[in-house]
Amino acid sequence: MSDATDADGRRPFSDEDRRWMAGAIDAAQRGIGAVEPNPMVGAAVVAGGRCVGQGIHERFGGPHAEVNALRAAGPAARGATLYVSLEPCCHRGKTGPCTEAIVAAGVARVVCAMIDPFDRVAGRGVETLRAAGVACDVGCLETEARDLNEAYLTLIERGRPLVIAKWAQTADGLIAAPSLARWITGQAARDEAHRLRAICQAILVGVGTVLADDPELTTRHVEGPSPHRYVLDGRLCTPTDCRLVRTVDLAPITVVTGPLDGQDRIARAAALRAAGVEVLSLGDGPRVAWADLLAELGRRRVTRLLVEGGADVLRSLIAARAADRAAIFASPDVGGQGVALWPEGRPFDVADAEVTQVGRDKLTAGRLVYH
């Protein structure tokens, strides 16, 4: 059943259905950064017009939202309706099948926002519940549910992570030059950038940024894990004494390069590996193709990749049309010594943009639409 009028012209979902589903979707967002590579999921058990149990998927490897909601509801779940933002699973992984828990609890009806495209579910959860006599309606607020799990769906359906391009620029569109020894944006914007890092499983810069800025690329000033750190380094010249390598115990580091041909490159790779850095050789040329890298990250089940590279990396990323979203921090200051990131004009628009005031700066976040 879809979230549209049915063959008889009736609305398949009531206002009450939509209200409870909206609450489940809203609650699910609290799992961001903790559940990946799993999806964010929220659930609510409703009986007699009131919520008798609510739950979310809180962390990877932990109980799923449906199980948490059913535990909260207890005996009140019998004969109730379960609203869940994603099709219940029917397979055994790190946890048992949610379908078993739903049937055992005596739930009469399940309303789920969308089918889970994961190949071990993909409609089988709904089929299992219906076979057990549980009424199932699918498609309530499906668009909102897909938006909630955009990163998960990108990984499952496209085999690669959701890519977020992030940069800071001045009011006239300039980014910091390598020689510019000051921040473009204020502390509030930098803290917000660290919150963005905390919900991404990987962060990437080019070796030029490593050599010019000597960044750490960990999550600081805010709560949350540090992402796996990747460096695009075709020349394989990442210093073994840079801050990234010196902080390898804080978060993993992978240097991505081309073929390890020649004794000099082999020796430099060995030195990085001896320091605890993974050296990943991709492709057969000096420049690593974005398609190859993103496919590899998909195999590693990276859900979100934050690209914080300098001008060369960002231009390459956009030229390959490999970024899905942008997070652009804009200062009210005029550029001065900055560098024009898009000297011939931006080759994209930011669609569905959300503009937020962050201290003295503004953050524009949205989906990229290429020209």
Q: How confident is the model at residue 140, as a pLDDT?
A: 95
Question: Are residues 208 and 333 part of one domain?
Answer: yes
Number of domains in the chain: 2
Q: How confident is the model at residue 239, as a pLDDT?
A: 96
Which amino acid, one-letter code, is at 139?
A: G
Is residue 87 part of the annotated active site? The answer reads no
Peptide bond before 37: cis, by omega within 30 degrees of 0?
yes
Whether 4 is in a domain gets the answer: no
Rounded CA separation 237/229 (Å): 16
Question: Are residues 240 and 135 part of one domain?
Answer: no
CATH number at residue 326: 3.40.430.10
Whether 255 is in a domain gets the answer: yes
Whether 64 is in a domain gets the answer: yes
Q: How confident is the model at residue 286, as a pLDDT?
A: 76
The partner residues of 367 in beta bridges, in order of sequence, read 325, 351
Please identify, among 153, 172, 198, the residue that sits at the C-terminal boundary of a domain: 153
Question: Are residues 175 and 39 part of one domain?
Answer: no
Q: Which residues have a Cβ under 8 Å from the Cβ of 343 and sit 6 or more positions away?
A: none
Please identify, among 110, 128, 153, the residue that sits at the C-terminal boundary of a domain: 153
Give the largest CA-CA distance in the chain.
73
Question: Are residues 149 and 268 part of one domain?
Answer: no
The position carrying tokens 């990163």 is 151
Q: 140: domain range?
A: 15-153
Q: How confident is the model at residue 277, as a pLDDT?
A: 97
Whether 239 is in a domain gets the answer: yes
Question: Are residues 22 and 100 part of one domain?
Answer: yes
Question: Are residues 287 and 141 part of one domain?
Answer: no
Q: How confident is the model at residue 345, as a pLDDT?
A: 86
Question: Are residues 183 and 98 part of one domain?
Answer: no
**H/E run at residue 43:** strand 42-47
Question: Are residues 53 and 31 part of one domain?
Answer: yes
Q: How confident is the model at residue 96, as a pLDDT?
A: 77
**Pairing assessment for the beta strands 81-84 and 162-169 based on DSSP bridges:** unpaired
Q: How confident is the model at residue 44, as a pLDDT?
A: 96
Question: Are residues 346 and 211 part of one domain?
Answer: yes
3-state DSSP assignment of residue 63: coil
Whether 2 is in a domain gets the answer: no
CATH number at residue 20: 3.40.140.10
Question: Are residues 134 and 248 part of one domain?
Answer: no
- H and E: helices and strands count for the chain: 12, 16
Catalytic position from the list 66, 142, 192, 308:
66
Which is nearest to 84 in space by CA: 113, 108, 61, 64?
113
- Assign residue 133 a region (left: φ > 0; alpha: ψ between -120 and 50; beta: otherwise): left
Kindly list the averaged pLDDT for each block of 10 residues, start to end, along the chain of length 371.
Answer: 41 88 96 94 95 94 94 95 95 80 94 93 92 94 96 96 95 73 82 94 96 92 90 95 96 96 94 97 88 97 94 94 96 78 90 95 96 92
Whether 288 is in a domain gets the answer: yes
Q: Edge-to-edge strand order for the sheet containing 304-307?
A: 278-281, 253-257, 228-232, 202-206, 304-307, 162-169, 325-330, 361-370, 348-358
- Assign residue 19 a region (left: φ > 0; alpha: ψ between -120 and 50; beta: otherwise): alpha
Question: Are residues 178 and 93 part of one domain?
Answer: no
Which value, to the nearest 10 degrees, does the dihedral of the CA atoms of residues 260, 264, 270, 275 take? Answer: -120
Which is nearest to 29 in space by CA: 122, 152, 205?
152
Question: Are residues 164 and 144 part of one domain?
Answer: no
Whether 1 is in a domain gets the answer: no
Please identify, among 153, 181, 202, the residue that sits at the C-terminal boundary of a domain: 153
**C-beta separation of 231 from 254 below 8 A:** yes
**H/E run at residue 340:** strand 339-340
DSSP string, 161-229: -EEEEEEEE-TTSEEPPTT--S-SS-HHHHHHHHHHHHT-SEEEEEHHHHHHH-------SSSSPPPEE
**Pairing assessment for the beta strands 253-257 and 228-232 based on DSSP bridges:** parallel
